[in-house]
Amino acid sequence: MDKNIRICIIGGGPAGLSAGMYLEQKGYENYTILEKLDRVGGKCWSPYYNGRRYEMGAIMGVPSYYAVHDVEEFCGITHDGPKLNRNYKDRTGKVIEPFEPKKNLLKIPRLLKMKKQLKKFGELLETKYKGYDINGHRGVAEGRYDGFSAANAKREKVSGVNPNLKDLALPFSEFCKKNDVELIQDIWIGPFTSFGYGYFDEIPAAYVLKYLDFQTCMNFVKINLWTWKDGTQFIWESLNDHLKNPARLNSNISKVERRDGQVYVTVNGEVEVYDKVIVTSPLYVPNKEGRDDGLVGMVDYFDARPDEKKLFSKIEYERYDVLACEIKPEHHPEISYYVFDNMIPERLGHLMVYYRRWRDTVDQVITTYALRKHKNSEEVPYEKCKKMVLRDLKTMKNPASKVVNEWSVYYFPHVFSETYKSGWYDKVEAMQGKYDTYYAGEIMSFGDMDETAEYSRELVERFF
């Protein structure tokens, strides 16, 4: 492809900024990144409170976040943030230690069985499900893998046939039952459901295991985690500062037309002409009417074709809410807490985890996280969920004295099992480059910063 082509990248989050970096490294410098907001970073949002940054979105990384490490090396930065730790409470606010046999004598048989299942699960993923951890979903529904390995930082190109990969279309709970490893869900649920990615009875195993491959999940278990002093947003601010063409903020795109081999983008009332467009912003936003953030999907401002509308209308998303709360010193939690009791559909809208970022001061906010949607349940209204979370903080004996920030964000776009099984991803992948358009962002891989950045790397490798 001509290195001088004009490329428009829509979205200044991890996917869009990474696309710019990888294009630049391959010699493509005629790119423009358009960001609707007045900041970069997308769901990596790290506001300030009393001179320090806290997290409203992404919190942490792990050593297997190779794409994030690419960004660190490109920018000359590193993961220099506070060391994280956590404990557990039940729904009544009692501190528990669910994985400590000495504190759970009656649960020793279950814990021993879980340990055996964990070993078995690791072996199954390496053998029966070889190829499960390839970035993206290309070929999975057809029983094959094709992409870049997540085994190490080299990310070598691999491909092969493995009919067992079709099992990844099953909801994760069914996938675990099929393989007689149901107890490992107790381990995977912490970094999955509490981080807003839905419940195991509704989300295809492919999403769970693309994000929490065995290596990554064990890093979470061992608390082998990365953080950044100035927040996860700092990673992407740094990248934006180092790009030859930083993102243009406050870019309101009202129309995109693709005709005669060119892409016409109307941004802030002016028409700009490009040769190719990479879309990293949402492709489809269901139930967009009445959204406070005014968010829409590309099918609403693009000259979307019938195949795009048909496929993208299958996309769902989570309703994941974050509160940043002041808590008086005498009530301040000494550590972050998971509340496993609330990570089930029956406790929809309740507090699942609350996060203390800085260990050296109580002059900080505590952030809380709750899910309020399940495939088979009525969605919990935002204000009702907020009240439930604040009540739960009181039950945890850490009552909030003030809410200083709140965020209800379009989160974790995905498709459900039947759509996944029908080959949705292969149909979308077959459209890459059609209409001079490339699709990236969360839906094409997974809704965390590393998977989205890694997919942008693969997209550039494949097509540019």
Query: Which among 284, 322, 301 is positioned nearest to 415, based on CA atoms?
Result: 284
pLDDT(87) > 90: yes
Q: Is the pLDDT of residue 15 over 60?
A: yes
User: According to the model, what pLDDT value does residue 291 have?
Assistant: 65
DSSP 204: B
Q: 122 near 158, Cβ under 8 Å?
A: no
Pair of tokens at residue 290: 């009445």
Whole-number pLDDT of residue 409: 87
262-267/253-259 β-pairing: antiparallel
Which three-class secondary structure state does DSSP give residue 227? coil
pLDDT at 364: 94
Candidates 266, 410, 342, 278; CA nearest to 91 is 342
Position 140 scores a pLDDT of 97
- For residue 179, the tally of other CB atoms under 10 A from its CB is 20
Show the domains of the chain with their CATH numbers.
Answer: 7-47+66-76+230-315+415-463 (3.50.50.60), 108-218 (1.10.405.20)
Check residue 229 and report its DSSP letter.
T
pLDDT over 70 (residue 350): yes
Question: Nearest-5° angle of CA 16, CA 18, CA 24?
Answer: 105
**Distance in angstroms (rounded) separating the CA atoms of residues 123 and 128:** 8
Mean pLDDT of the chain: 95
Can you give the pLDDT at residue 289? Answer: 61
Question: What are the backbone angles phi and psi of residue 87, rounded to the nearest 5°?
Answer: -135, -170
Amino acid at the residue 97: E
Q: What is the per-residue pLDDT for 287?
A: 66
Model confidence at 288: pLDDT above 60: no
Q: Phi and psi of 213, rounded to 5°?
A: -60, 165
The answer to whether residues 452 and 446 touch, using CB atoms and an 8 Å cutoff, is yes
Contact 278, 9 (CB under 8 A): yes
Query: Which residues 6+ apart lie within 8 Å of 362 measured at CB?
Result: 327, 329, 332
Q: What does the pLDDT look like over 446-462, one tens digit per residue?
A: 999 999 999 999 999 99
Read off the DSSP letter of residue 231.
-
Share of the chain above pLDDT 90, in %: 91
Mapped onto helix, strand or coil, the DSSP state of residue 335 is coil
Whether residue 294 has pLDDT greater than 90 = no
pLDDT tens digits, one per residue of 355-406: 999 989 999 999 999 999 999 999 999 999 999 999 999 999 999 999 999 9
Dist. CA 463–CA 110, nearest whole Å: 49
pLDDT at 152: 79
Token duo for residue 340: 């496993």
Look at residue 231 in the predicted model and tell me its pLDDT: 97
Count the Cβ atoms, other than its own, within 10 Å of residue 167. 20
Could you say which DSSP state residue 401 is in?
A: S
Cα–Cα distance between 66 and 71 in angstroms, integer?
9
pLDDT tens for 88-126 read: 999 999 999 888 877 777 788 999 999 999 999 999 999
Pick the closest to residue 188 from 197, 233, 361 (CA basis): 197
Distance CA 420, CA 400 (A): 41
pLDDT greater than 90 at residue 293 = no
Residue 102 confidence (pLDDT)? 77
H or E segment and range at residue 408? strand 402-414
Per the model's pLDDT, the better-predicted residue between 287 and 199 turns out to be 199
pLDDT of residue 120: 98
Q: Looking at residue 290, what is its pLDDT?
A: 59
